[in-house]
Structure 1
Amino acid sequence: MSADQITYVAFLRAVNVGGRKVEMARLRAELDELGLGPSRTYIASGNAFFAAPRTSGAKRAALRARIEERLQAAFGFEIPTALYTLDEVEEAYAAAPFAAMGPAASHERYSMLFTTGTLDPSVLPQVGARGEWEVIGLHGATAYLHYRVVEGRAPGNPVPRLEKAFGVQGTGRFHHTVEKIIAAARK
């Protein structure tokens, strides 16, 4: 990585679920072809790291659009991508309100929703119909979710509802997975 470049983390939504197959080797090749290489990935849920010049605002949106267009052409379906710098991911991880809640019980999970835009706190509260999930905080483009198993049922996927409420696209990662993503991106 050259001195004028920083590490980015691309969080891809809904890959390798429901027939939306994205092989990580091919994902890396597509990112490399965009000049974002050498790219790396972490697990098959769509977490990619690459170096590029620091961007913000319209330039960041243009980079995200280039990535999404390339991936749609390569894989044949839309792949919304939340694009953060590694520093932004670390900041969002550090700002998570989960430590104050204590360790998650066996029927609980803590998750982070990485999105494509700044989140407006005026749309809060956001809570699942059965209380199975709730947004417990926001930090820039990241929402923090608390999931619960209710009446023996696993929580449904709140992402479509939250995308509509906030007017963004997004994808979730469990809090403990984000810690591992950060470590992998730092290597």
Structure 2
Amino acid sequence: MIGYVALLRAVNVGGTGKLPMTELVRMSEAAGFENVKTYIASGNVVFKSKRSEGEVRSALEERLKEYAGRDVGVVLRTATELADTLARNPFSDSPGNRVTALFVNETLPTDPLDGVKGITNEEVRLGKRELFVLYPDGMAKTRLRIPSDRHGTARNMNTVAKLAEMAATVA
């Protein structure tokens, strides 16, 4: 069994894409996932499965599309990968709520600033399957636009730490 963390894109943000976490648990269990747990109402679900990453993502995406009537992006990481992301945080000296990991399924640009617009004092670093972003003044007023954001989903490092902790217990 593999411990997984699914990060849903655009769920319960700004009043759009409402998905009760109880429904996400039900969908995940119906897909055959075990030890299903959610964390905060923004599309974070932790579980274990015997299936491959691709099979898990497809099963969850199909159920989400049936529920929402539209595609809902799912970024999947193993428990090990999420713990590794936390360990590789290049801004570990900064508060966890000021640093995000932008998780993506596609290949990342070789230059993390490629196509980035609106940068002021933010910093962007390349990870393995994510971009790390430091928002020294917080995210509330940033004008930063990162092209990978259109297909990925970001979580602050406090959330990544909690999800890594949860994923370690289900694996």
TM-score (norm 2): 0.84
Q: 1:183 to 1:175 in 2, by over 3 A?
A: same
SS in 1 for 2:106: coil
Matched, 1:77 2:64: no
Q: Quick one: which of 73, 81, 93 aligns to 1:88? A: 81
Amino acid at match of 1:111: T
- Contact kept, 8 Å, 2:104 with 2:148, in 1: the verdict is no
Of residues 97, 120, 124 in structure 1, which corresponds to 2:113? Answer: 124
Q: Say if 1:156 and 1:29 are closer, same or farther in 2 by CA, change over 3 A.
A: farther
**1:154 aligns with one of 122, 141, 154:** 141
Q: Following TM superposition, by how much is the alpha carbon of 1:125 offset from its aligned partner in structure 2, in angstroms?
A: 4.5
Q: Is the 8 A contact 2:122 2:133 kept in 1?
A: yes
Identify the match of residue 17 of structure 1 among 13, 18, 29.
13
Note the residue ranges of structure 1 that are not aligned, 5 or more in a row: none
Q: Which amino acid aligns with 2:145?
A: P
Instruction: Give me the whole-angstrom Cα distance separating, in 2, the residues matched to 1:53 and 1:24.
Output: 23
Q: SS in structure 2 opposite 1:43?
A: coil
Give the distance between the partners of 1:128 and 1:11, measured in 2 at CA: 25
**Which runs of 4 or more aligned residues in structure 1 lie more than 4 Å from their structure 2 counterparts after TM superposition?**
none
For the pair 1:173 / 2:162, whether they are aligned, the reply is: no
CA contact 1:110–1:144 (8 Å) conserved in 2 = yes
The secondary structure found in structure 2 opposite 1:121 is coil
Rg larger in structure = 1
SS, match of residue 98 in structure 2: strand
- The Cα RMSD (Å) is 2.5
Please report how far the alpha carbon of residue 92 of structure 1 lies from its aligned counterpart in structure 2 after TM superposition: 1.1
Counterpart CA distance in 2 for 1:119 and 1:126 is: 12
1:49 partner amino acid: V
Which of 128, 138, 147 matches 1:140? Answer: 128
| SS class of match (1:49) | strand
| Structure 2 stretches lacking a partner, 5+ long | none
| Secondary structure of the corresponding residue to residue 145 of structure 1 | strand
Equivalent AA in structure 2 for residue 10 of structure 1: A
Paired residues of 2:112 and 2:126 also in contact (CA < 8 A): no
Report which structure shows greater RCO (CA 8 Å, sep ≥6). 2
| 1:35 is the counterpart of 2:21 | no
Aligned length: 167
What do residues 123-170 of structure 1 show as CA deviations (whole Å, max 9, x unaligned)? 5355441415442x22221110012449xx6114735x2246xxxx21
The aligned amino acid for 2:3 is T
Q: Which amino acid aligns with 1:183?
A: E
TM-score (normalised: structure 1):
0.78
Distance 1:123 1:98, change over 3 A: closer
